[in-house]
Structure 1
Amino acid sequence: MASFMFGYTLGVFFLFTAAAFVCLDARSMDKTQDYMSFQYHKGALLTGDISINLIWYGKFKPSQRAIVTDFVASLSSSRRTTTVSKNPSVATWWKTVEKYHHQVSKKTTRGLLTLSLREHILDEGYSMGKTLTEKNIKALAGKGGQSYAINVVLTSADVAVQGFCMNRCGSHGSGFGSSGKKFAYIWIGNSETQCPGQCAWPFHAPAYGPQGSPLTAPNNDAGLDGMVINLASLLAGTATNPFGDGYYQGPKTAPLEAGSACTGVYGKGSYPGYAGELLVDATTGGSYNAKGVNGRKYLLPALFDPETSACSTLF
C-alpha cells in the first residue's frame, strides 16, 4: 500500500513553526515567496459523496465513541434527521473548507464534497499489539471502505504509535487498496495519558511555552475532545490536499494545510498560551466555539480562509 503522510501537532508551537518557515530557503527570494504563499498545486481535491469510516483500535467507551460520531454527523449542513443547533455550528465551520472546492470548481467540472458517516470497525482486542508502526496504521486504515472513503483510525490512550507525542498528534495520508483504488486515511491518537500537554491543549496545561489555566473540555473528556480538534484539522487537510498536490503552504515534504496553518488559534485575540475568545457552557463550564447534533458542543481550530488569506474563526 503506497502512501504519503502529513503530520499534525497541536498546541502552542505554531509560532515556532512559522519562524522555521521564514528560514526554509534564503537562497532564492522567489522561492521563499512561493513557500510563504498558500497555493493550489493543480492536484485533486476530495469531491463527491465521501464516506467516513471510523476504525476504533483499543478500548473506547460508547460515550467516547459518541463524541466523535456526533462530530462527524454535525459536519453536514443538510442533515435533518437530528436537531442541529444554530450558529456557531460545526457545519458553519466546515463551510470554510468548501471555499477551496468552490475556487477549484470555477475552473473545472469537479463537484463539491459531501461527507457522511458509514461504518464503525471495532478492534478492542489489539490485533496488532499496543505498539504500532506506520505500517500497522496503514494496514488498519485498509480495513475500511476503499472507494470514495476517508478511513479514520483512532487509537486508544494505552496504544503507542510511531512518532506519537514526539512530533505529531495525528496524520493523514493515502493508500491503494486491494482493488487498486486510491483512498484517503487519517490517524489520531488519544493523548489523555501520553502527552496531554502537547496534543490535548488547551484542555491541559501546555508542555512548553506560556503557561495558563487549562480550559474545561466541552464533553468532559480532555482526551476525546482533543482528538476531535485533531480530527477536525486533519479532515480539512485531507479534503483540500488528499494526495499531496492540492492546497498547501511551504514545501511538499512539510506542508502547512487548511487546518495546520492555524494551529493554536480557536477564537479572536488568540496568542501563544491563549486559545482566544470562546463561549462557555453555563452548566458544565466547558469552553467551545461550535454546536453540533444531539446538543453537542465542540472546540474547533481556526481554518485558513483562501478568500481572505487569513485564519478564520467562527466568531
Structure 2
Amino acid sequence: MVNNFTYKLLRITIFVLLSYTLILPCLATIPRKLALVQPQPLILKYHNGPLLKGNLTVNLIWYGKFSPIQRSIIVDFITSLSSKNVETSKPSVSSWWEIIGRYRGGPCSITLGKQVFDEGYSLGKILTSSKLVVLSSRLAHKGAINVVLTSDDVASEDFCMNTCGSHGYNYAGRHKKVRVPYAWVGNPGKQCPGQCAWPFHQPMFGPQLPPLVAPNGDVGVDGMVINLATVLAGAVTNPFNSGYFQGPAEGALEAVSACTGIFGSGSFPGFPGKVLIDPYTKASFNAYGLYGRKYLLPAIWDPKTFSCKTLL
C-alpha cells in the first residue's frame, strides 16, 4: 500500500561518471551532427486516477524529540506553501507550490492543521512501515494529509538504505472506505546526511564538491524540508498510485523524485545548480518563506513543458 519514492542521485551519479570515463576518450571521433540530437522529454504519465485539489489540511505527527527551533522551521515551511495573501519576496515557497496547480487536478491550497507530539517513542525507536501507518492514523480524516516526522534517533524501515521519505494511504471512516493519504519523513542529520541531506552534506559517492550551507543552520531539518517537499508533491499528484508517475507504481518516479538532484539551472550530477547565497550567513537557498525564512527546494516536473522546473 505504501508508495515509497526512491532517491536516484547516487546511482545516477555513478552511472554518469562511468559513462564519462568510457565516452570522453572517443569524443574526438564523434561526428558533430550527433551533438545536435536533443534528449527525449521527461514524461510522467497520468494514469486517470483521482488527484488532491482544493483546500487541503496538513497535520503533523512529531515522533521523537525535536527542538522548538526545528519544529518552527518545518511549520513555517508548511505555512509558506499557500501564503498568497501575505507579501513575500520572490522567488517564494508559494510560487514553487503553484507549479503543482498546473497538473490536471488543479490548484491545491495547503493549511496547517493539528499537531501531535509523541516524545515518549510510544512505538519504540525502530519503526516498520506498518507502525508508520498506525502513527499516521491518529489524525486520519478526509481532506487531510497526515505527515509523520521522525527524529534523528529513530530508525524507520528502509530509511537511509533506499528511501528518505514515503507517502501512501490508509482507510478511515465508519466503514473504513475513505482513503486518506499520509506521508513520512525522517531526520537524516545523524543517520545518513550524505544520502538524505545532500546538498548540505557531501554525498557518500560521486563528485565530492563542497557542501552548501544549510539555510536554517540545521543540516538534518533543512534536509527534511527537501524530502517533505518531495513527498507532499507526490501525495497531491499521485495520492492513490493512479495519478502522475513514471515506471512501476511501487517506487515510481513522481513530480519531484523525477527531478532528483536539481535545485537550480545548470545543475548536473553532484552540482545542485544556480542558487542564492545569503551575504551574511553564506547559506544557500532558492525560495523565501514567511517570517524571513529561507529554503532550498527541489525542482518539480512541469506538465506543460515536460521538464524539471526550478525557481532559478
- Structure 1 counterpart of 2:143, from 145, 148, 156: 148
1:287 matched to 2:293: no
TM-score (norm 1): 0.87
Contact 1:205/1:213 (8 A) holds in 2: yes
Deviates more, 1:250-259 or 1:268-277: 250-259
Structure 2 gap ranges (5+): 17-41
Q: Secondary structure at the match of 1:213?
A: coil
Q: Which residue of structure 2 lines up, in the alignment, with residue 98 of structure 1?
A: 101
State the secondary structure of the residue aligned to 2:132: helix
AA aligned to 2:3 is M
Partner amino acid, structure 2, of 1:258: A
* Structure 1 contact 288–298 (Cα < 8 Å) conserved: yes
Q: Is the 8 A contact 2:197 2:224 kept in 1?
A: yes
Q: Would you say how many aligned residue pairs link Structure 1 and Structure 2?
A: 288
Provide the TM-score with structure 2 as the length reference. 0.88
Tell me by how many angstroms 1:119 deviates: 1.0
Q: Percent identity over the alignment?
A: 50
Give SS of 1:294's match: helix
Query: Larger C-alpha radius of gyration, 1 or 2?
Result: 2
Distance 1:283 1:193 in 2: 26
Aligned to 2:111: 116
Distance in 2 between residues matched to 1:178 and 1:5, nearest whole Å: 21
Question: 2:89 maps to what in 1?
Answer: 86
CA distance in 1, matches of 2:13, 2:153: 30
CA positional deviation for 1:15: 5.1
Tell whether the 8 Å contact from 1:14 to 1:262 is kept in structure 2 after alignment: no
- Name the Cα RMSD after superposition: 2.1
Which of 301, 308, 315 pairs up with 2:298? 301
SS at structure 2 position matched to 1:147? coil
What is the CA–CA distance in structure 1 between the aligned matches of 2:145 and 2:166, rounded to whole Å?
13
Provide the rounded CA distance (Å) in 2 between the counterparts of 1:6 and 1:192: 20
- Once the 2 structures are TM-superposed, how far is the Cα of residue 66 of structure 1 from its aligned partner? 0.3
Aligned 1:121-140 pairs, distance under 5 A: 121-140=116-135
Counterpart of 2:162 in structure 1: which amino acid?
N
1:167 and 2:162 matched: yes
Partner of 2:3: 5
Q: How many Å separate the matches in 1 of 2:12 and 2:303? A: 19
1:10–1:230 CA contact under 8 A, matched in 2: no
Structure 1 stretches of 5 or more lacking a match? Answer: 19-35, 106-110
Tell me the alpha carbon deviations over residues 238-272 of structure 1, each in whole angstroms, 9 at most, x when there is no partner: 11000000011122223110100000000111111
Greater shift after overlay, 207-216 or 223-232?
207-216
Match of 1:39 in 2: 45
CA contact (8 A) 1:11 1:201 kept: no
Residue 62 (str. 1) matches residue 68 (str. 2): yes
